[in-house]
């Protein structure tokens, strides 16, 4: 069927097979930041925003994105650099393969939660697996970033 | 030192965090064929007939290969220096299938749908055979896993395939039986560890194509590009000169990618069709037919005096190679060498081992590489004897641990040049507040808080085997190109080695340009494994910088018209010691590009006759719910001696990450097979790796010794850090429950059931 999707601000009209998942559809449009780490919706690597809400693009059919606005890390380069710098300064990106999905979820969290506790942060990001870091450096980066954002808002 | 021992951001960090297309799967040629494998549903079976006619008719199918289409020389997929100790026991496709998931046919098609359809249409008749699944019954079992005649063992590893023995070994220092006789207390215990999946986030993947020179190009997520070149040449029976291997960014390895797991399949498709080809393993395939940690059973006899002096240890390890012997004969050695050597006052020690073939998936290399299993067994045995003698487990270690200056008899007789294990112990105790928390405390909610301890060591490279080369070129304008052949898999070696080069050359780190590996262009390196990169390749970089400095000085002095002895180089300029007159590095760079018969570059090799162990102490604090048996590691203290810390961020994250992988091994990760020999938990849904909500805090401190043979005094860190959680958590569970659990993982239900049983008694 034919779908119309806005990807990172640009509108695309495409014929897609009914079983095409959003993940593959996005990668076929050059959104290579969107990664696949499993087949069971467990790893969080494929996280993108659909109408500003984080979704697992492996578990969303491309046809469901019809008429929706999809944002990937390619469309949030400024934000990615801003938070990514905190992550990089902790050495918390390591292999980097889970970074895009993780960062997409962090950026969604920042919009959704006000002054989250450590437990709330962990809970929100629970679905983003990482095998390199043991998550500690990611937590340090998130907290420093939240501090930075708060100070920026107070200015 | 400006960069070494500092917090330096990785050179590739910003491209990773902004999601740039830098991994194998992001740069696949548009027209590449999709390669998929038909895999055996049976753990042991012979293909009696295979018909691909219907599958070939699917539109878009380019080729289907079966065992009839592949070369007949056996090879090993283990990425090791030639001659490999791992037996040559594999074909790309075999008529006899030795584990569930063994490849039966290779399908290459224009798209995924066509490949999937073709897979379903291949008709295979199997003669299903009874599999050998229990590795404790493998030796002299009537089922012989490798009956083939062209099986080949290149090294003397006491292989006896007709008895299912992949390798065996024994060594003894002193007389163990005598020493045990003279001990006040002797314990005999058996410990079991399961296979573990590395579960790196990027599964195995490779694409191949023929380039403009008619050579096979292999772009792969690998830790061992040079070994891949050699192994593919053997497997495909084509000259090594016809192969180029390129390693882009890698999405994690942990040893998994020290084997050729996915490379051979697109490679043979490209050789047969001339077309680019790409294979990507699903998570399921990565788990059922990857290269996991070897499952082991270890029998320990440990003897001590009543006052806590440990006098003798006897360790026997049985390792399950599974269907293929990759890394089987080598992982096993570490079980003994890197556990017994933690103890410096033993009168006698013995290590014996057998590695056996079965019909489970073949094992491979996983961070820790046998040391993890051996340390789990020995450290738990030490905790058991401490409990038996009613001695604090930290104290018994303080009495017995190896010390700097000793000769480590059980560690190839190597000297212990650098070791702060004593300081690590003191630090870790302080970090967790051991004295007030040991052994346990009951909380108001009925939970029990307890602590447990373990020590660990590893090596730094394979002594006398690993080789690293580095090349550094001076370019116009005075910047450098650093060429290395070791593989950054997210660990940061490209950055770490640049830090060393920048300090050696007194320059800004941004003046060092560094690249991923290309076997046509990078200097030879055995690859990133065996904790070798910082220690071995690092030393090659240091030596290369020294040589290049001399050449820069020489050229600068020539430009100044003075003798070399009269000038000096400070990183920015060569200057006349008397007059102060100088020529800048930029000018030297430009001058070296014009009318000279030598451009300025240096290249050095390094190999180390010893493999200095890094050491650490890990203490786990757990919260155990006696009702459910649920254990959470609420705090973990790690005090690490990796020699000089080269990059403080990366060393810390290595430690945190390794500990969490170790926690997974201790508490969750449990590969299980059904009766037919098929793995039943080959997904993240069923094979649980730690998530962030499972964990408390992990504290890391460094107690640096100085390793005189290492670059800037550094030793390794990558593997060491996975070794303490299993024994430390086992100890903490004992301190909470009074029960030693001797098989990993220790799952909540086991604890709950054991506690219920204890209550009934």
The tens digit of pLDDT for each residue in B155-171 reads 999 999 999 999 999 99
For residue A3, give the nearest of A20, A19, A15 by alpha carbon.
A15
Q: By residue range, what is the domain housing residue A9? A: 2-74
Q: Name every chain B residue with its beta carbon within 8 A of the beta carbon of A90.
A: 649, 653
Interface contact flag, A80 B18, Cβ < 8 Å: yes
Q: Are residues A147 and A137 in the same domain?
A: yes
Q: Are residues A54 and A38 in the same domain?
A: yes
Q: Which residue has the tokens 């001339």?
A: B274
A23: which 2 tokens?
């993940």
Number of residues that make up chain B: 761
Q: Are residues A63 and A124 in the same domain?
A: no
Integer CA distances (angstroms), A82 to A31, A103, B16, B112, B437, in order: 20, 11, 13, 37, 41
Integer CA distances (angstroms), B87 to B417, B530, B706, in order: 34, 19, 38
Q: Are residues A54 and A84 in the same domain?
A: no
Residues 451-490 of B with CB under 8 A from A: 489-490
Integer CA distances (angstroms), B220 to A100, B22, B86, B169, B652, in order: 21, 12, 22, 34, 28
Interface contact flag, B698 A94, Cβ < 8 Å: no
Portion of chain B with pLDDT greater than 70, in percent: 100
Q: Are B37 and B106 in contact (CB under 8 A)?
A: yes
Interface contact flag, A73 B19, Cβ < 8 Å: yes
Q: Is A139 on the interface with B (CB under 8 A)?
A: yes
The average confidence (pLDDT) of chain B is: 97
Q: Name every chain A residue with its beta carbon within 8 A of the beta carbon of B693.
A: 122-123, 126
- Helix spans in B4-79 (H): 13-17, 53-56
Sheet holding B573-576, edge to edge: B567-569, B573-576, B582-584
Q: Are residues A122 and A143 in the same domain?
A: yes
Residues 189-228 of B with CB under 8 A from A: 198-203
Interface contact flag, A45 B698, Cβ < 8 Å: no
Q: Are residues A60 and A28 in the same domain?
A: yes
Q: Is the pLDDT of residue B596 over 70?
A: no
Beta bridge partners of B165: B160, B356
Q: How confident is the model at residue B387 (pLDDT cuts 50, 70, 90)?
A: very high
The tens digit of pLDDT for each residue in B425-469 reads 999 999 999 999 999 999 999 999 999 999 999 999 999 899 999
C-alpha to C-alpha distance for B49 and B62, rounded to whole angstroms: 21
Q: How confident is the model at residue B1 (pLDDT cuts 50, 70, 90)?
A: low
Q: Are B563 and B542 in contact (CB under 8 A)?
A: no
The tens digit of pLDDT for each residue in B302-356 reads 999 999 999 999 999 999 999 999 999 999 999 999 999 999 999 999 999 999 9
Q: Which of A40, A81, A136 sits opposite B656 (nearest CB)?
A: A136
CB atoms within 10 A of CB B558: 17
Å between B285 CA and nearest CA of chain A: 10
- Residue B592's pLDDT is 87
Q: Is A129 on the interface with B (CB under 8 A)?
A: yes
- Helix spans in B245-370 (H): 264-273, 283-288, 328-340
Name the domain boundary from A15, A48, A74.
A74
Integer CA distances (angstroms), B477 to B70, B471, B511, B564, in order: 52, 18, 10, 22
Q: Are residues A115 and A128 in the same domain?
A: yes
Q: Name the pTM for this structure.
A: 0.97
* Peptide bond between residue B6 and the one before it cis (omega within 30 degrees of 0): no
C-alpha to C-alpha distance for B684 and B695, rounded to whole angstroms: 17
Element containing residue B187 per DSSP (H, E): strand B185-193
Domains contained in chain A, number: 2
B609: which 2 tokens?
């006759």
Q: Name every chain A residue with its beta carbon within 8 A of the beta carbon of B692.
A: 122, 125-126, 128, 135, 138-139
Q: Which of B17, B283, B693 sits opposite A80 (nearest CB)?
A: B17
C-alpha to C-alpha distance for B155 and B158, rounded to whole angstroms: 9
For residue A66, give the nearest of A154, A5, A13 by alpha carbon.
A5
Name the domain boundary from A74, A108, A134.
A74
Name the domain boundary from A12, A42, A74.
A74
Q: Is B6 on the interface with A (CB under 8 A)?
A: no
Q: How confident is the model at residue B594 (pLDDT cuts 50, 70, 90)?
A: confident
Q: Is the pLDDT of residue A153 over 90?
A: no
- Residue B599's pLDDT is 83
Task: Report the pLDDT averaged over residues B79-85.
Answer: 96
Q: Is the pLDDT of residue B597 over 70?
A: no
Q: Are residues A80 and A101 in the same domain?
A: yes
Task: Report the pLDDT averaged over residues B194-216.
Answer: 98
What DSSP string runs through B341-383? TTBS--SEEEEEEEEEE-SSPP----TTTTHHHHHHHHHHHHH
The tens digit of pLDDT for each residue in B107-130 reads 999 999 999 999 999 999 999 999
Q: Is the pLDDT of residue B507 over 90?
A: yes
Beta bridge partners of B319: B296, B355
Q: At what angle do helices B421-432 and B393-400 cross, to 10 degrees?
A: 160
Q: Is the pLDDT of residue B84 over 70?
A: yes
Q: At what angle do helices B725-737 and B648-667 cross, to 10 degrees?
A: 50
CB atoms within 10 A of CB B445: 7
Residues 237-296 of B with CB under 8 A from A: 249-252, 254, 282-284
Q: Name every chain A residue with its beta carbon within 8 A of the beta carbon of B697.
A: 136
Q: Is the pLDDT of residue B199 over 80?
A: yes
Q: Is A40 on the interface with B (CB under 8 A)?
A: yes
Q: Are residues A29 and A50 in the same domain?
A: yes
Task: Report the pLDDT averaged over residues B647-665.
Answer: 98
Q: Which of A39, A84, A123 sits opposite B683 (nearest CB)?
A: A39
Look up the CATH number of the domain holding residue A37: 3.10.20.30
Q: Is A97 on the interface with B (CB under 8 A)?
A: yes
- Residue A26's pLDDT is 98
Interface contact flag, B683 A38, Cβ < 8 Å: yes
Q: Which of B12, B14, B652 sits opposite A81 (nearest CB)?
A: B14
Interface contact flag, B653 A133, Cβ < 8 Å: yes
The tens digit of pLDDT for each residue in B258-314 reads 999 999 999 999 999 999 999 999 999 999 999 999 999 999 999 999 999 999 999
Q: How confident is the model at residue B249 (pLDDT cuts 50, 70, 90)?
A: very high
Count of CB contacts below 8 A, A vs B?
A: 179
Q: What is the DSSP letter of B721?
A: G
Q: Is A99 on the interface with B (CB under 8 A)?
A: yes
C-alpha to C-alpha distance for B709 and B119, rounded to whole angstroms: 54
Nearest CA in chain A to B491: A94
Beta bridge partners of B515: none
Q: Is A32 on the interface with B (CB under 8 A)?
A: yes
- Residue B353's pLDDT is 98
Look up the CATH number of the domain holding residue A122: 1.10.150.120
Q: Are residues A137 and A108 in the same domain?
A: yes
CA angle (B349 as vertex; B400, B318 as ends), nearest 5? 115
C-alpha to C-alpha distance for A130 and A140, rounded to whole angstroms: 15
Q: Are residues A138 and A88 in the same domain?
A: yes
Number of residues that make up chain A: 155
Interface contact flag, B14 A85, Cβ < 8 Å: yes
- Residue B761's pLDDT is 82
Q: Are residues A59 and A89 in the same domain?
A: no
Beta bridge partners of B631: B624
For residue B633, give the nearest of B679, B687, B584, B698 by alpha carbon.
B698
Q: Please report the ipTM that was assigned to this predicted complex.
A: 0.98
Q: Are B229 and B245 in contact (CB under 8 A)?
A: yes
For residue B229, give the nearest of B195, B267, B191, B286 by alpha carbon.
B267
Q: How confident is the model at residue B542 (pLDDT cuts 50, 70, 90)?
A: very high
Task: Report the pLDDT averaged over residues B1-27.
Answer: 96
Domains and CATH numbers, chain B: 13-131+198-288 (3.90.1170.50), 417-458+612-761 (3.30.365.10), 468-606 (3.30.365.10)
């Amino acid at each position: 069927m034919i779908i119309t999707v806005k990807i990172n601000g640009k509108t695309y009209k495409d014929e897609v097979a009914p079983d095409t998942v959003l993940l593959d559809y996005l990668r076929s449009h050059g959104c290579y930041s969107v990664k696949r780490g499993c087949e069971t919706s467990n790893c969080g690597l494929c996280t993108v925003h659909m109408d500003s809400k984080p979704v697992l693009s492996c578990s969303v059919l491309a046809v469901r994105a019809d008429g929706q606005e999809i944002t990937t890390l390619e469309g949030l380069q400024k934000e990615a650099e801003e938070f990514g710098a905190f992550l990089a300064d902790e050495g918390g990106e390591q292999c980097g393969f889970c970074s895009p999905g993780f960062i997409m979820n962090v950026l969604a969290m920042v919009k959704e939660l006000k002054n989250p506790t450590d437990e709330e942060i962990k809970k929100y990001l629970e679905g983003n697996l990482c095998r390199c870091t043991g998550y500690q450096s990611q937590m340090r980066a998130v907290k420093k970033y939240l501090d930075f954002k708060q100070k920026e808002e107070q200015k | 030192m400006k960069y070494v021992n500092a917090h330096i951001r990785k050179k590739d960090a910003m491209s990773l965090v902004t999601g740039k297309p830098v991994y194998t799967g992001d740069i696949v040629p548009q027209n590449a064929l999709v390669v998929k494998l038909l895999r055996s549903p049976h753990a042991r079976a012979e293909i009696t007939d295979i018909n691909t006619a219907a599958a070939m008719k699917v539109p878009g199918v380019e080729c289907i290969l079966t065992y009839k289409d592949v070369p007949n020389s056996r090879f090993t997929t283990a990425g090791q220096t030639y001659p490999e100790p791992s037996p040559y026991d594999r074909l790309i496709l075999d008529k006899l299938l030795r584990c569930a998931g063994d490849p039966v046919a290779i399908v290459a098609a224009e798209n995924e749908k066509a490949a999937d359809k073709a897979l379903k249409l291949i008709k295979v008749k199997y003669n299903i055979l009874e599999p050998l699944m229990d590795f404790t019954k493998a030796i002299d079992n009537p089922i012989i896993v490798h009956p083939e005649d062209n099986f080949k063992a290149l090294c003397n590893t006491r292989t006896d395939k007709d008895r299912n023995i992949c390798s065996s070994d024994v060594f003894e220092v002193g007389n163990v039986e005598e020493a045990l006789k003279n001990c006040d207390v002797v314990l005999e215990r058996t410990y079991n560890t399961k296979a573990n999946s590395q579960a790196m986030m990027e599964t195995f993947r490779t694409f191949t194509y023929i380039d403009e020179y008619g050579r096979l190009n292999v772009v792969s997520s690998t830790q061992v590009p040079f070994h891949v070149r050699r192994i593919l040449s053997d497997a495909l029976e084509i000259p090594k000169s016809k192969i180029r291997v390129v390693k882009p960014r890698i999405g994690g390895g942990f040893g998994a990618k020290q084997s050729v797991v996915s490379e051979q399949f697109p490679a043979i498709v490209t050789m047969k069709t001339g077309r680019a080809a790409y294979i990507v393993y699903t998570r399921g395939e990565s788990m059922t037919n990857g290269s996991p940690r070897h499952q082991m059973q270890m029998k320990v006899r440990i003897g001590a005096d009543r006052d806590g002096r440990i006098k003798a240890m006897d360790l026997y390890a049985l390792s399950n190679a599974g269907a293929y012997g990759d890394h089987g004969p080598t992982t096993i050695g570490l079980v003994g060498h890197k556990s017994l050597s933690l103890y410096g006052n033993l009168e006698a020690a013995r290590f014996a081992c057998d590695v056996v073939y079965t019909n489970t998936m073949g094992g491979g290399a996983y961070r820790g590489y046998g040391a993890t299993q051996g340390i789990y067994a020995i450290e738990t045995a030490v905790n058991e004897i401490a409990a038996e003698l009613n001695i604090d487990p930290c104290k018994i270690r303080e009495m017995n641990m190896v010390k700097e200056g000793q000769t480590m008899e059980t560690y190839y007789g190597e000297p212990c040049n650098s070791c702060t294990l004593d300081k690590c112990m003191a630090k870790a105790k302080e970090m967790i507040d051991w004295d007030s928390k040991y052994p346990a405390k009951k909380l108001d909610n009925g939970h029990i808080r307890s602590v447990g301890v373990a020590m660990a060591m590893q090596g730094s490279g394979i002594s006398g085997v690993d080789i690293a080369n580095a090349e550094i070129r001076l370019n116009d304008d005075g910047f450098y190109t650093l060429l290395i052949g070791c593989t950054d898999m997210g660990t940061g070696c490209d950055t770490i080695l640049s830090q060393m080069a920048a300090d050696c050359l007194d320059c800004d780190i941004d003046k060092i340009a560094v690249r991923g590996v290309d076997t046509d262009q990078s200097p030879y390196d055995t690859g990133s494994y065996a904790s070798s990169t910082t220690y071995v390749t690092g030393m090659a970089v240091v030596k290369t910088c020294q040589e290049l400095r001399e050449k820069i000085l020489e050229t600068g002095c020539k430009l100044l018209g003075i003798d070399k002895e009269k000038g000096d180089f400070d990183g920015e300029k060569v200057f006349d010691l008397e007059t102060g007159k100088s020529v800048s590095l930029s000018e030297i760079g430009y001058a070296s590009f014009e009318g000279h018969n030598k451009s300025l570059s240096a290249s050095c090799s390094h190999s180390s006759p010893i493999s200095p162990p890094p050491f650490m102490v890990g203490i786990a604090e757990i919260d155990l719910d006696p009702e459910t048996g649920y254990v959470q590691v609420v705090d973990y203290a790690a005090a690490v001696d990796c020699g000089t810390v080269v990059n403080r961020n990366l060393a810390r994250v290595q430690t945190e990450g390794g500990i969490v992988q170790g926690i997974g091994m201790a508490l969750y990760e449990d590969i299980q097979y059904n009766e037919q020999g098929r793995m039943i938990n080959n997904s993240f849904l069923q094979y649980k790796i730690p998530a962030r909500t499972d964990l408390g805090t992990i504290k890391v401190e460094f107690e640096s010794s100085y390793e005189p043979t290492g670059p800037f005094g550094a030793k390794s860190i990558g593997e060491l850090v996975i070794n303490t959680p299993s024994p430390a958590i086992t100890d903490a569970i004992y301190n909470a429950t009074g029960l030693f659990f001797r098989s990993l993982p220790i799952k909540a239900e086991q604890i709950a059931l054991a506690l219920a049983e204890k209550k009934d008694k």
